[in-house]
Structure 1
């Protein structure tokens, strides 16, 4: 797991060495859509599926963005004498970020997510008389840090570290505006 995290960080910063790339700084009015997969899930037990996330960031000025977030994860576990338990986690919320002007090769940022976690559980009970487990969920928050690198004017890659649907998210970013 440490190797995955270190490899992702090394990749994000290694691309700053490419000389023939346009500036990456975040700008007022910019809209970025991120679609990612989690590599270090924070929810689930047993057979954990791949966490998925979608976020949208709108630049209110050259340093501040606000937007939305949606994340999903699921897992299954077989517990002796109880049965198969399936968990699903859905996080939705608002996020804000401060964009740092560290290098013109990357859009680097850090921020806060405030949201709600809807957790559900279902049991294929193999033992008669066992009660169904209760669903859980509630208010959630996350601090995150990330970077975006655009290969073209519109398409790029992003990586984020923080507590959310996954500790490490990597994916594609599309500059909508």
Structure 2
């Protein structure tokens, strides 16, 4: 948790040095990414996939400050395997996160091609696995900060940090 908070603080500081003007009411963006870290992977001999994720957001209203609020959805998936030397048993489990999220995009900077934002998500974590009775599906919540750099009018690279399905997600964004 301490590493996540340090990462969020560093990202927030860097974002303060940048600027953005790339998100507005009516903007539609799809993110596709790979995430690092996440829940329920604490075994030393386990292997885990990255978090495969996709999200959608739409700019829905301007707010004073200046900024734009977006609303959208999120879908993420992660799988773990564990090879036990103690009882010669192999275990695997996975979780899928389905969520609704909202973000505030700060538009007061003056640099083209950059979109910076922070937000929150409520979700349902759906677990599936072998003999792990304590991994019941449950609701969850998270906060995140992120940024996008547009290479063209419709394609960007993005990074998000937060305490959700993944601690750090990198990927591509598509605006339409």
Instruction: Judge same fold: TM > 0.5, yes or no.
Output: yes
Aligned length: 156
Tell me the residue number matched to 2:136.
136
CA distance in 1, matches of 2:154, 2:50: 26
Q: Distance in 1 between matches of 2:143 and 2:88?
A: 36
Does the 8 Å CA contact 1:161/1:168 hold for their aligned counterparts? Answer: yes
Name the CA distance, whole Å, in 2 between partners of 1:148 and 1:72.
22
Q: CA deviation at 1:84?
A: 0.6
**Other-structure match for 1:35:** 32
State the match for 1:153 in structure 2.
153
CA shift for structure 1 position 145: 0.5
1:70-95 per-residue CA deviation (whole Å, 9 max, x = no partner) reads 01000100122161110101000100
Deviation larger for 42-51 or 157-166? 42-51
What residue number does 1:20 align with?
A: none
Q: Secondary structure, in 3 states, of the residue corresponding to 1:60? A: strand
Task: Note if contact 1:24-1:150 (Cα within 8 Å) is conserved in structure 2.
Answer: no
Question: What TM-score do you get using the length of structure 2 for normalisation?
Answer: 0.79
Question: Does the 8 A contact of 1:43 with 1:89 survive in 2?
Answer: no
Residue segments in structure 2 that go unaligned for 5+ positions in a row? 63-67
If the length of structure 1 is used for normalisation, what is the TM-score? Answer: 0.78
2:102 corresponds in structure 1 to 96
Equivalent residue number for residue 47 of structure 2: 47
Could you tell which deviates more after superposition, 39-48 or 146-155?
Answer: 39-48
C-alpha contact (below 8 Å) 1:43/1:73 kept by paired residues: no
The structure having more radius of gyration, on CA atoms, is: 1
- The residue that corresponds to 1:118 in the other structure is 126
Corresponding position of 2:61:
61
Confirm or deny: 8 A CA contact 2:24 2:59 kept in the other structure.
yes
Worse-superposed segment, 157-166 or 39-48: 39-48
Structure 1: give runs of 5+ residues left out of the alignment: 18-22, 123-131
